[in-house]
Amino acid sequence: MPQAKYPKIVVTPPGPKARELVQQDHSLISQSLVRFYPLVAESGQGCIVRDVDGNEFIDFNSGLVCLAVGHSHPKVVAAIKSQAEKLIHYSYTDFYYEKVVQFSKELTKITPGNFPKRVFLGNSGTEAIEAAMKLAKWHTRKHGFISFIGAFHGRTLGSLSLTASKPAQRRHFLPMVPGDTHVPFAYCYRCPFKLEYPDCGMYCVDFIQEQVLDTYLPPEDVAALFTEPIQGEGGYVVPPDDYFKRLKKLLDKNGILMVDDEVQAGMGRTGRWFGIENWGVEPDILCTSKALASGLPIGATVAKADIMDWEGGSHANTFGGNPVSCAAGIEVINAIRDEHLMENAVKQGNYIMKRLKEFQEKYPIIGDVRGKGLMIGAEIVKDPKTKEFGETEAKDIMMKSFRRGLALITCGHSTLRITPPLTITRDLIDPGLDILEGAVKEVAGANK
């Protein structure tokens, strides 16, 4: 049988150069970061990331879910080079340039809703959320927000107030910005109400009305509800099909804006430009970042034009809408469209889900497999009956995979996340999943 070309492990990672760099990093760099494992990236091409010791990994991470069109897509690289030679900076928040207008026009075309829109550009996911928070306050003149337990919306103090997926994110940073209320999300595998879908009648939506808005949080004081279409850092939690329609109806009834955080799920990852489109819902404000410029910093807040009605000077920044990032973003949109990457996300995602479900039959430590397109999670448990989180097991699987040449990470308590570039094909998926199965099998065996 011919040997698969990838992955290529020439020295068990971390190799000597990687170890040396990690050591320097640990004495120099803020250790507030997460760091899943000592992958010291040197270069990337397509769906392969190469480390400083010459190991080549199959990349099921896409960086941090940023490389939808793969590492160093040639058209994106060409656009970056050409724009960098022309204009690198001239703050769009104080002056004007063409790339911001071109890019924003494209964004208004691909975001859900056939209504006039306006765009605010920042540099990151958290800035897109901060802009949405301020905009919602400015437009509605209300101060309250609702967000979900398990949510991740960023780490600056405004977005952190909405975030609620890990204690470490908030420890010693209290108090948060006042005015946010957290409610349970539709995490059906671990229903917070111990109910079962569909018999539950989606009580988690009724709960917001009955136990929150009708009980102690006057809707007149709530500007917006923030939600991810699929909870990302919270564990790749996919709500049931009719959830968002019901939720949007509730919000409209109470005069509360819906802010859709597509920072992780957006840009084709779920098989649609934006995750919420899988459920036919049009949010009032949408935030996106990560894959937007294939790894260059940018974040966008896109709102209905009549909502983005704030006055001059109310919100701006220096670097947002950088022309090089915008040029890259235009090519990202072109590549997703022209190379049919959303179709590929659905096709390859279905195949990966099918194989993961086969693994689940064989290895009961895989408690749940869920996802849309190429945003896929496999939740690891110690025992499928008790559903006790398999935190050490998930970490073990991740580390074994890394040492064998598959880069994937976890999210939530114990969910393996599978988010390769949308360009991935079977010749890399199969060896990647074979490595994953080998790791799961070993850890499941040790767990008996």
Ligand X SMILES: Cc1ncc(COP(=O)(O)O)c(C=O)c1O
Q: Which stretch binds ligand X (CB under 6 A): 114-122, 125-133, 188-196, 201-209?
A: 125-133
Which letter does DSSP use for residue 274 in this model?
S
User: β-pairing, 48-51 with 56-59?
Assistant: antiparallel
Q: Is 152 in the site for ligand X (CB under 6 A)?
A: yes
Residue nearest to ligand X (CB): 125
- Identify which of 61, 177, 71, 184 has the alpha carbon closest to the alpha carbon of residue 126: 177
Q: Is 126 in the site for ligand X (CB under 6 A)?
A: yes
Q: Is 260 in the site for ligand X (CB under 6 A)?
A: no
From residue 75, alpha-carbon distances to 70, 332, 343 in Å are 11, 8, 20
Determine the Cα–Cα distance for residues 286 and 273; give it in Å rounded to an integer.
12
Site for ligand X in 207-236 (CB under 6 A): 228, 232-233
Q: Is 373 in the site for ligand X (CB under 6 A)?
A: no
User: Can you tell me which of 289, 301, 344, 415 binds ligand X, judged by CB under 6 A?
Assistant: 289
Written as one letter, the residue type at 349 is G
152/363 with CB nearer ligand X: 152
User: Can you tell me which of 154, 229, 321, 371 binds ligand X, judged by CB under 6 A?
Assistant: 154
User: Can you tell me which of 71, 73, 99, 153 binds ligand X, judged by CB under 6 A?
Assistant: 153
Q: Is 261 in the site for ligand X (CB under 6 A)?
A: yes
Q: Which stretch binds ligand X (CB under 6 A): 121-129, 142-150, 199-207, 322-330?
A: 121-129
Shortest Å distance, C-beta 281 to ligand X:
17
232/239 with CB nearer ligand X: 232
From residue 411, alpha-carbon distances to 156, 371, 402, 403, 408 in Å are 20, 13, 16, 19, 10
Site for ligand X in 34-93 (CB under 6 A): none
Q: If DSSP codes are grouped into helix, strand and coil, which group holds residue 347?
A: helix
Determine the Cα–Cα distance for residues 92 and 163; give it in Å rounded to an integer.
29
| CA count, 13 A, side-chain hemisphere, 260 | 29
Determine the Cα–Cα distance for residues 329 and 128; give it in Å rounded to an integer.
15
Q: What is the dihedral of CA 241, 243, 246, 248, to 10 degrees?
A: -110
Q: Is 283 in the site for ligand X (CB under 6 A)?
A: no
124/414 with CB nearer ligand X: 124
User: Can you tell me which of 111, 264, 270, 423 binds ligand X, judged by CB under 6 A?
Assistant: 264
Q: Is 263 in the site for ligand X (CB under 6 A)?
A: yes
Binding site for ligand X (CB under 6 A): 124-126, 129, 152-154, 228, 232-233, 261, 263-264, 289
